[in-house]
Amino acid sequence: MPLRRRGTARHNSLMKKRHALITAAALLAAAAVLAAPPPSGDPRLDHAIETANSEWAAAMKSGDVAAIARPYLDDALFVGPDGACTRGRAAIEALYVERFRKNARASATRIEPRSVVRDGDLAYESGYGEMTFIREGKPVTAGGRYLAVWARQPDGGWKILRNVVLP
């Protein structure tokens, strides 16, 4: 009975495919870990951040201003990249209505929380966000760093107290 040789073309082809699949799976797992912010130690805070960020990304493409404003406190403060301050959830929602009227909706979005630090009833989330718009038939991408200050609510939930787009 002849022995199978490991160096056959079929065996080598199968090994290459297996290696490629393992490499692809490892890269996907690493990307998932890198995309998620570090856990804060408070599952409700982590969930609030994940929800707000994913809803922001979708809402920038759909134009859903209520979803963008939902995680903000009634008296929250939003500071845009130009330093302009908008106070209150209703005013933040109106700001986005006007932005969508002038600039249309984003064709693509990305948000990458990089750090979450809790300090008592406040938490500080920092990261990077960007949006792509189509202007004159060409994609234009704008992005930058942000710092969001979250405040714990009496029911244990978390809302945005301050959101600053950094230059």
Is there a single domain that holds both residue 65 and residue 8?
Answer: no
Is there a single domain that holds both residue 2 and residue 66?
Answer: no
0.85 exceeded by pTM: no
Q: Which single residue is written with the structure tokens 């998932």?
A: 32
Assess contact for 130 and 109: CB atoms under 8 A.
yes
Is there a single domain that holds both residue 128 and residue 66?
Answer: yes
Q: List the pLDDT tens digit at each of the 167 positions of the chain.
A: 555 555 666 655 554 554 444 433 333 333 444 455 567 889 999 999 999 999 999 999 999 999 999 999 999 999 999 999 999 999 999 999 999 998 889 999 999 999 999 999 999 999 999 999 999 999 999 999 999 999 999 999 999 999 999 98
Is there a single domain that holds both residue 61 and residue 114?
Answer: yes
Is there a single domain that holds both residue 75 and residue 137?
Answer: yes
Here the CATH number for the domain that contains residue 129 is 3.10.450.50
Distance CA 130, CA 123 (A): 22
Count of domains observed in the chain: 2
Determine the structural domain holding residue 25 and report its residue range.
1-35
Assess contact for 89 and 66: CB atoms under 8 A.
no
Is there a single domain that holds both residue 101 and residue 56?
Answer: yes
Distance CA 25, CA 48 (A): 28
Is there a single domain that holds both residue 12 and residue 28?
Answer: yes
Is there a single domain that holds both residue 85 and residue 132?
Answer: yes
